[in-house]
Chains A and B, each alone.
Chain A
Amino acid sequence: MKAISCFHCGLPVTNDNFRIEIAGKLEPMCCPGCRAAAQAIHACGLDQYYQFRTALNENPEQISQDQKHRFKLYDREEVKKDFVFETNDEVTLIKLFVEGITCAACVWLIEKRLNQLESVVSATVNLTNHSAQIRFNHNDIEISELFSIIHELGYVPRPYRRDAQHEHLSKTRKDFLTRIGIAGIGMMQVMMNAVAIYIGTIEWHHENLLRWASLVLTLPVIFYSAVPFFKAALRDLQTRHLTMDVPVSLAIIAAFIASCLATFTQSGEVFFESVVMFTFFLLVGRFLEFQARQKAHSSNENLLDLLPVTVHRVTSEQTEEVSISDVKVDDVIQIMPGETIAIDGKVVNGTSSVNESSLTGEFEPVRKTKGDAVRTGSINADGLLQVKVNAVGPDSSLSIMMKLLDRSAAEKPAIVGLADKIASYFVALVLLLTIATFSYWHLVGSEEAFWIALSVLVVTCPCALSLATPVALATATTTLKRIGVLPTRGFAINALAKATDVIFDKTGTLTNGHFDFVKTELETDEYALVLAASLQQFSEHPIAKAFTRKVPKPHLITVVDAEVTQGMGVRGTINHIEYRIGSAEFCSSNLSPPDTNLWVCLYNCSEQKVIQWFQLEDLIRTDASLALTSLTELGLVNHMLTGDRSNKAQSTAEQLGLTQYQAGQKPEDKVSYVSHLQSQGSKVLMLGDGINDAPVLAKADVSVAMANGTELAKHSSDILLLNNHLERVPMAVKLSRKAYRIVAQNLSWALMYNLSALPLAMAGLITPWMAAIGMSLSSLLVVLNALRLNKKEV
């Protein structure tokens, strides 16, 4: 079969049953979720969206009644006060975060859809931080309906949270822009004055005027725009660790003071234009780095958002709905199927399969019965449970995971950039030599002593030296982003180049993270699949999802007397024939599966015969083996760590040719595995996706999170794999190594230039204009060299 990809989200279409008409053409859809979203878009007459978009959509979850019910919660007075910003008799302004926005067309789509509603006054969506502001008439429409409308389009709306970190980021961003703006405006004007001075045919009193004007224009740049560098330099001096901020600040201050002196004494040369230009470019570089970091963290999903706001507490006779903050230890809580468990506790009544994937990374449910412990953040799949509370809030397992994460992040080995190391020696050297030069010329009685000392500082102005690393890293970052690898921390590229060991998580990283059919036994019958899916629609089990994903809702047949047996299967009557689907022993006592793999049986109870065997597996990503081979070729050692205890860990490792792997690993085990490797001198690159991976992602020297991973994993990683293509990882490693080489070349060139110019300047042989030309040329060379990283292929 020719590979078709979903028109909506781009995933491969395995079952071509979900075509719908978009703009007069039948387009394939991969799953009911995508189809529902596409249908909603089509029904609102917004087909053009697909023409406008520049990135594919995220795969939306299927909308359930349950989800809509959950949105009802946001209509409550005490819940909505958090994200209602203004309200009067008619109009209310709410702020939301919308997940799943991939490009500007998504913004267009959501704004357009909301603005179609009569009751919406205005709706604006921000592409940068994925927030939406909706002004609507609250007499005509409920907040929950707005949520549902956004959700129908395939996005996930979440209430805005006024958290301090977010406010801080947006303030930092505005600060940055103001500083850059002022430096930019100042730069343009001062440069204009400088051109007039450099042309040289200007009369003295005019030049003097231009100098004073430049001085005035430079003042805001020095006292506002450049302040962050000075502050950082001061901090460096206090901690006795010299970084580039010290020479940068020194160059800015020295050149500024020298130029001021020249202006006051009406002698020498002025360098105001160099000062402002230098500040401007440095600020732009820092801003770009900040923006990349902010982008990765813009989504406001918080772990606590995953938890329900209310729970059902069991009292003597009945259950009552109470807020989670009112729950105390030893209360008994009833947990409905499909609900997220908000507490740690022990089951006192009932049996159910519980999905602990958010904690362990394994999506296959664990059976829980009386006496078993359940943990915060896991999801109750099929049965009704009554749980006695052990811990809630800060003592729960989810919070403990967060603490583990914080500790690992704090222990992260600091990678000091090569430039920083060289610079700290270089800076010290230059300072000493400048003082020596000044003392010498002063002692021999030269009136030029100050100017010679200054030209030492100018000629060694670490322009090229300080540009060498940022330019190369900025170019490498852009190229990495183009191939779908987004570095979110400054040191990521450096660390990627140095990595010696790669550790993969299994479920969700090396594998897709959900079940798929691999094969069927006996005849391949479309009808059997429809039968199976019709029965499985009653189950919340991940195995059942593999069936319901395949068959669209309208194709399902009516089932009478459906009954789910937790963790076993489903029984039901279709057209007066009783069927069972599930494990072999559930269907009939004398059945056994074809082999040891995971098989599901569809059984006709009336005729006592097996209709179909389905084999299910969490498939290995198609590009996993290619990625592992390329990494080995690059000289890296591959490892696999998984929380999975079953023999699947072994078979996955064997299929991929992995020799180093550990199964049944708890998050703590993973962290200690990494620190063991690190103690042997290895630099560890970690790839993961689950909440359970977060601590180890933070611990590794450099870590990559999958784009479909949990928010916590993304937060604690240094790099995001935007398109989930594993083969991009070796490409990124290669590119980083090249970037590292270019940084080294740049640094050695800059050092060579500076060191050879230094003695000449000390001897008083270099005039400031020569120093200026030399400085510009060396910077230009460094930039051009860095631009070589712009190529996609390495």
Chain B
Amino acid sequence: MDVLFLLIPVSIVFLSLAVTALMWSIKSGQYDDLDSPAHQILFDDDDDLMPDSKESSKQSKSND
């Protein structure tokens, strides 16, 4: 069980990495809009990517 003396400090190091990542993501604005990304995944707007559907007005530009 003395491995705990190694593992606990290691876990604290990992946590500080997690906190750094969190602070970076908040600062870069990833949490500015918490509402729309959750819905966006549900929009089936990839018809133009299907092989048999007609081409939409612009083919390659849509970034989904």
Whether the Cβ atoms of B58 and A118 lie closer than 8 Å is: yes
Main secondary structure of the interface of A (DSSP, over half): helix
A104 contacts chain B at the CB level, 8 A cutoff:
yes
Whether the Cβ atoms of B62 and A112 lie closer than 8 Å is: yes
Interfacial chain B residues near A210, Cβ < 8 Å: 4, 8
A76-92 near B? 1/0 per residue, CB < 8 Å: 00000000000000000
A177 contacts chain B at the CB level, 8 A cutoff:
yes
The minimal Cβ–Cβ distance linking A49 to chain B, given in whole angstroms, is: 9
Question: Which chain B residue has the least Cβ–Cβ distance from A216?
Answer: B12
Interfacial chain B residues near A177, Cβ < 8 Å: 26, 31
With beta carbons under 8 angstroms apart, the residue of A54, A122, A182 that contacts B39 is A54
Interfacial chain A residues near B23, Cβ < 8 Å: 178, 181
Whether the Cβ atoms of A52 and B42 lie closer than 8 Å is: yes
The minimal Cβ–Cβ distance linking B55 to chain A, given in whole angstroms, is: 10
Question: Which chain B residue has the least Cβ–Cβ distance from A123?
Answer: B63
B19 contacts chain A at the CB level, 8 A cutoff:
yes
Whether the Cβ atoms of A185 and B36 lie closer than 8 Å is: no
Whether the Cβ atoms of A115 and B62 lie closer than 8 Å is: yes
The minimal Cβ–Cβ distance linking A173 to chain B, given in whole angstroms, is: 8
Whether the Cβ atoms of B39 and A103 lie closer than 8 Å is: yes
Whether the Cβ atoms of B57 and A128 lie closer than 8 Å is: no
A95-116 near B? 1/0 per residue, CB < 8 Å: 0000000011101100010011
Interfacial chain A residues near B56, Cβ < 8 Å: 45
With beta carbons under 8 angstroms apart, the residue of B8, B11, B35 that contacts A128 is B35
Whether the Cβ atoms of A213 and B8 lie closer than 8 Å is: yes
The minimal Cβ–Cβ distance linking B52 to chain A, given in whole angstroms, is: 17
Question: Which chain A residue has the least Cβ–Cβ distance from B54?
Answer: A45
- CA A454 to CA B13, docked complex, whole Å: 33
Given A54-B39, A128-B32, A122-B22 contact (CB < 8 Å)? no
Interfacial chain A residues near B38, Cβ < 8 Å: 104
Whether the Cβ atoms of A126 and B39 lie closer than 8 Å is: no
A780 contacts chain B at the CB level, 8 A cutoff:
no
- CA A125 to CA B40, docked complex, whole Å: 12
Q: How many residues of B contact A (CB 8 A)?
A: 34
B34 contacts chain A at the CB level, 8 A cutoff:
yes
Whether the Cβ atoms of A217 and B63 lie closer than 8 Å is: no
Question: Which chain A residue has the least Cβ–Cβ distance from B48?
Answer: A45
Whether the Cβ atoms of A181 and B26 lie closer than 8 Å is: yes
Interfacial chain A residues near B35, Cβ < 8 Å: 104, 127-128
- CA A220 to CA B23, docked complex, whole Å: 13
Interfacial chain B residues near A48, Cβ < 8 Å: 43-45, 47
A257 contacts chain B at the CB level, 8 A cutoff:
no
Interfacial chain B residues near A227, Cβ < 8 Å: none
CB proximity to B under 8 Å, residues A164-215? 170, 173-174, 177-178, 181-182, 185-186, 189, 203, 206, 209-210, 213
A655-681 near B? 1/0 per residue, CB < 8 Å: 000000000000000000000000000
The minimal Cβ–Cβ distance linking A54 to chain B, given in whole angstroms, is: 7
A44 contacts chain B at the CB level, 8 A cutoff:
yes
- CA A626 to CA B35, docked complex, whole Å: 35
Given A116-B57, A118-B58, A174-B27, A209-B15 contact (CB < 8 Å)? no
With beta carbons under 8 angstroms apart, the residue of B11, B27, B40 that contacts A104 is B40
With beta carbons under 8 angstroms apart, the residue of A105, A125, A185 that contacts B18 is A185
Interfacial chain B residues near A186, Cβ < 8 Å: 15
Whether the Cβ atoms of A104 and B39 lie closer than 8 Å is: yes
Given A108-B45, A203-B1, A44-B57 contact (CB < 8 Å)? yes
A129 contacts chain B at the CB level, 8 A cutoff:
yes
The minimal Cβ–Cβ distance linking A409 to chain B, given in whole angstroms, is: 29
Given A115-B62, A174-B26, A126-B12 contact (CB < 8 Å)? no
The minimal Cβ–Cβ distance linking B32 to chain A, given in whole angstroms, is: 6
- CA A127 to CA B34, docked complex, whole Å: 8
The minimal Cβ–Cβ distance linking B27 to chain A, given in whole angstroms, is: 7
Given A126-B32, A206-B1, A107-B27 contact (CB < 8 Å)? no
- CA A177 to CA B23, docked complex, whole Å: 9
Whether the Cβ atoms of A52 and B12 lie closer than 8 Å is: no
Interfacial chain A residues near B22, Cβ < 8 Å: 178, 181-182, 185
Interfacial chain B residues near A217, Cβ < 8 Å: 12, 15
Whether the Cβ atoms of B39 and A105 lie closer than 8 Å is: yes
Whether the Cβ atoms of A170 and B40 lie closer than 8 Å is: no
Whether the Cβ atoms of B15 and A189 lie closer than 8 Å is: yes
Whether the Cβ atoms of A107 and B40 lie closer than 8 Å is: yes
The minimal Cβ–Cβ distance linking A86 to chain B, given in whole angstroms, is: 15
- CA A396 to CA B42, docked complex, whole Å: 50
Whether the Cβ atoms of A128 and B43 lie closer than 8 Å is: no
Interfacial chain B residues near A103, Cβ < 8 Å: 39
Whether the Cβ atoms of A185 and B1 lie closer than 8 Å is: no
Interfacial chain A residues near B8, Cβ < 8 Å: 209-210, 213
- CA A112 to CA B47, docked complex, whole Å: 13
Whether the Cβ atoms of B32 and A213 lie closer than 8 Å is: no
Interfacial chain B residues near A128, Cβ < 8 Å: 32-36
- CA A203 to CA B33, docked complex, whole Å: 47
Interfacial chain B residues near A178, Cβ < 8 Å: 22-23, 26
Whether the Cβ atoms of A126 and B43 lie closer than 8 Å is: no
- CA A103 to CA B18, docked complex, whole Å: 32
Interfacial chain A residues near B57, Cβ < 8 Å: 44-45, 116
With beta carbons under 8 angstroms apart, the residue of B1, B5, B19, B58 that contacts A182 is B19
Interfacial chain B residues near A112, Cβ < 8 Å: 45, 62
- CA A478 to CA B36, docked complex, whole Å: 19
Question: Which chain A residue has the least Cβ–Cβ distance from B9?
Answer: A213
Question: Which chain B residue has the least Cβ–Cβ distance from A48?
Answer: B45
Interfacial chain A residues near B43, Cβ < 8 Å: 48, 52, 105, 108
Interfacial chain A residues near B19, Cβ < 8 Å: 181-182, 185, 220
Most chain A CB within 10 A, of B1, B27, B43, B57, is at B43
A residues contacting B by CB (< 8 A) are 44-45, 48, 52, 54, 103-105, 107-108, 112, 115-116, 118, 122, 125-129, 170, 173-174, 177-178, 181-182, 185-186, 189, 203, 206, 209-210, 213, 216-217, 220
Q: List 20 A-B contacts (CB under 8 A).
A: A48-B47, A52-B39, A104-B36, A104-B38, A105-B39, A105-B43, A107-B36, A108-B39, A116-B58, A116-B62, A126-B36, A127-B33, A128-B34, A128-B35, A178-B26, A182-B19, A206-B1, A209-B8, A216-B12, A220-B19
9 nearest A-B residue pairs (beta carbon): A104-B39, A127-B36, A104-B36, A126-B33, A127-B35, A181-B22, A107-B36, A213-B8, A128-B33
Q: In the complex, given contacts A108-B45, A118-B58, what are 8 additional A-B residue pairs having Cβ atoms less than 8 angstroms apart?
A: A45-B56, A45-B57, A52-B42, A116-B58, A116-B61, A128-B35, A185-B15, A220-B19
